[in-house]
Amino acid sequence: MSVIVQGESFDPGAALTDFSNRIQGAGAMVSFTGFVRDVPAGLLALEIEHYAAMTKRALDDIEQQAISRWHLSGSLIIHRFGSLKPDDIIMMVATAAEHRKAAFEAAEFMMDYLKSRAPFWKKESTRQGDEWVVAKTADEEALKRW
Amino acid sequence: MSVIVQGESFDPGAALTDFSNRIQGAGAMVSFTGFVRDVPAGLLALEIEHYAAMTKRALDDIEQQAISRWHLSGSLIIHRFGSLKPDDIIMMVATAAEHRKAAFEAAEFMMDYLKSRAPFWKKESTRQGDEWVVAKTADEEALKRW
Amino acid sequence: MIDVLYFAWVREKVGLPKETVDTTATTVSELIAELVERDARYGAAFADQSALLVAVDQELTDFDAPINNAREVAFFPPMTGG
Amino acid sequence: MIDVLYFAWVREKVGLPKETVDTTATTVSELIAELVERDARYGAAFADQSALLVAVDQELTDFDAPINNAREVAFFPPMTGG
């Protein structure tokens, strides 16, 4: 049960090792890791802005919903902010539950909510200029599953 | 793109670090790890038997289906055999794709197929005796999703 | 006195990330109306309210929400985390 | 001559993991019939064929499958991997 918001990069494997050592009794563990993808124009930087005072609260809320709905025995959210480059790690979630269905669903739920309800905004910088990433209607639609 | 069948234990975090270093360009990485759960009678050992000549072939086939259907940029299956104890790691799959939906679906697909189409059999040993784990109809039903 | 925060392109249009506003507004909508009267920069930022979200004291809410007892109101576009 | 393999409780009922069988059977079902005639252990293992799966040359198939050119036939219960 931990939520971490940080500027620094991290190794998803090292984070998963730590997490797996804390979830005795679970039958299933799922992790999701998001990376910066390049864009056709050539990405110079991806700037991630966030609303610090609200971020932790929003992520704690998303995590608590997942824990109580899927009876998770463990959960983890790590999200970065600041200036990132292509292939840099952006964020990670991990879940632990008795069975695989719960672990998968809880991880997808956390990702769907994190995309549209956690106060992060991305700006892409290319040689053609800077542009704020526009929220996808598909991401808002994804919430209806839950 | 690798399939490993082994008796030895392994660290899912270390495997994820290796995997993440091989998937440049992916936006999304998902992993699933399965652990031995204890049973009410107290599990002394979980014996995993497999059909060695068929296992690699079956897992390669499952992986290839996932790669072509979800255009994965990376995939991994590790499955153990032999005598395991509660909380021991049993297996892991990992997927890398452009977007999260593909990475999640491909990992769930591989898990569903691996449960019912890869030639592994589990036997639980407790003080009350040994018992072969019976395949769940829910696991066979899960294949209909695909 | 209430803290008003702006993020992403709303911040860029308003020209600052945060300010303290002396207001008699009782709802988010009234606060927006006051700001828009103050300066054209706000007019640009709030031109299309359907493109905006608002949080009062760090909770997402809507434009009718009361702000009488609020300490902090934040305006921003739909989130793009993850 | 064909290699016949048994796994999990099928192996335990037959009493061995593998044997080479001299057979004229042309399908899986004919092979089972031959085995069942040979010894009661096979009768016990194959009593409920609906509880069994079969692979011919390491590919899952059904009991009507031809085995004329097969090198290896394997019998086992539904898999429980993962």
**pLDDT bucket at D59, cuts 50 / 70 / 90:** very high
Closest residue to A13, CB basis, from B17, B26, B107: B17
Calculate mean pLDDT across residues B26-31: 98
Whether B2 contacts chain A with CB within 8 A: no
Contact between A85 and A46 under an 8 Å Cβ cutoff? The reply is yes
Q: Does B1 score more than 90 pLDDT?
A: no
Grouping H, G, I as helix, E, B as strand and the rest as coil, residue D27 is: strand
The whole-angstrom separation of Cα A1 and Cα A22 is 10
Pick B135's closest partner by Cβ from D58, D74, D78. Answer: D78
Structure tokens of A44? Answer: 């110079």
Neighbours of chain B (3+ CB pairs under 8 A): A, D
| B145 CB neighbour count, 10 Å cutoff | 9
Amino acid at A68: S
- Containing H/E element for C66? none
Cβ(B93)–Cβ(B74) under 8 Å?
A: no
Pairing state between β A120-126 and A43-50: antiparallel
List C74's β-bridge partners, or say none: C5, C55
Half-sphere exposure of D48 (CA within 13 A, CB side): 5
Count other C-beta atoms under 10 Å from residue D16's C-beta: 11
- CB-based contact (8 Å) between B135 and chain D? yes
Query: Does residue A24 surpass a pLDDT of 90?
Result: no
Burial (CB < 10 A; 0-12, 13-18, 19+), residue B44, is middle
What six digits make up the tokens of D80?
């429980």
Q: Is A81 exposed, middle or buried (0-12, 13-18, 19+ CB in 10 A)?
A: buried
C-alpha torsion angle, residues B123, B124, B130, B133 (rounded to 10)? -50
Chain A, chain B: beta-carbon pairs less than 8 Å apart:
104
pLDDT, average across residues B67-91: 98
Alpha-carbon distance A57 to nearest alpha carbon in chain B (angstroms): 24
Q: DSSP letter string over A33-89?
A: EEEPPP-TT-EEEEEEEE-HHHHHHHHHHHHHHHHHHHT-SEEEEEEE-EEE-TT-E
Contact of B140 with chain D, judged by CB distance below 8 Å, is answered with yes
Measured in residues, chain D has a length of: 82
Q: What is the mean pLDDT of residues D39-64?
A: 96
Of C5, C7, C79, the CB nearest to A118: C79
| Percent of chain B topping pLDDT 70 | 100
Residues β-bridged to residue C5: C18, C74
Confidence label for B30 from pLDDT (cuts 50, 70 and 90)? very high
* Average pLDDT across chain D, whole number: 96
Sort out which chain C residues have CB atoms less than 8 A from A114's CB and list them: 81-82
Comparing alpha-carbon positions, the chain D residue that sits nearest to B34 is: D82
- Which value, in Å, is the radius of gyration of the alpha carbons in chain C? 12
Q: Which residues contact A56 (CB under 8 A, 6 or more apart)?
A: A3, A5
Percent of the residues in chain A that have a pLDDT greater than 90, as a whole number = 94
Q: Please tell me the distance from the alpha carbon of residue A42 to that of residue C78, in angstroms, as a whole number.
A: 25
Residue A56 one-letter amino acid: K
Contacts of B138 in chain D (CB under 8 A): none
Q: Cα distance from A107 to chain B (closest Cα, Å)?
A: 9
Burial environment of residue B100 by CB neighbours within 10 A (0 to 12, 13 to 18, 19 or more): buried
pTM for the structure as a whole: 0.95
Task: For residue B100, give how far its alpha carbon lies from the nearest alpha carbon of chain D (Å).
Answer: 22
| Predicted local confidence at residue B24, as pLDDT | 85
Rounded to the nearest 10 degrees, the angle between the axes of helix B12-20 and helix A12-20 is 170
Question: Which residues 88-117 of B have a C-beta within 8 angstroms of A?
Answer: 89, 98, 100, 103-104, 107-108, 111
Per-residue pLDDT of D4-42, as tens digits, reads: 999 999 999 999 999 999 999 999 999 999 999 999 999
Going edge to edge, which strands form the sheet with B43-50?
B82-84, B43-50, B120-126, B129-132
Greater pLDDT, D55 or B137: D55
| Contact residues, chain B, for A93 at CB < 8 Å | none
Residues D67 and D28 sit within 8 Å (Cβ to Cβ):
yes
pLDDT at B46: 98
Averaged pLDDT, A50-70: 97
Q: Do D7 and B49 touch (CB under 8 A)?
A: yes
State mean pLDDT over A77-93: 98
Alpha helix locations (H) across chain B? 12-20, 52-70, 100-117, 137-142
Residues of B in contact with D74 (CB under 8 A): 51, 54, 119
Say if the Cβ atoms of D9 and B132 lie within 8 Å. yes
What residues in B contact D59, CB-CB < 8 Å? Answer: 57
Under a CB-based contact definition with an 8 Å cutoff, are residues A96 and A25 in contact? no
Nearest C-alpha neighbor of C66 from the set C30, C26, C36: C26
Mean pLDDT for the stretch of residues A54-67: 97
Q: Do chains A and B touch (3 or more CB pairs under 8 A)?
A: yes
DSSP state of D22: -
Facing residue for A108 by CB, picked from B11, B33, B104: B104
Taking CB atoms and an 8 Å cut-off, how many pairs form between chains A and C? 70
Contact D49, B107 (CB under 8 A): no
What are the pLDDT digits (tens) for C45-76? 999 999 999 999 999 999 999 999 999 999 99
| Average pLDDT of the residues in B24-53 | 96
Q: D: neighbours with 3+ CB pairs under 8 Å?
A: B
Confidence (pLDDT) at A82: 98
Asked if A32 and A111 touch (Cβ cutoff 8 Å), the reply is yes
Q: Which residues pair with A3 in a beta bridge?
A: A77
D21 Rama class: left (phi>0) / alpha (psi -120 to 50) / beta: beta
Nearest CA to CA, how far is A56 from chain B (Å)? 23
CB of A119 less than 8 A from some CB of C: yes
Q: pLDDT at position A121, please?
A: 98
D-chain CB neighbours of B58 within 8 Å are 58
Give the model confidence (pLDDT) of B91-103 as tens digits.
999 999 999 999 9
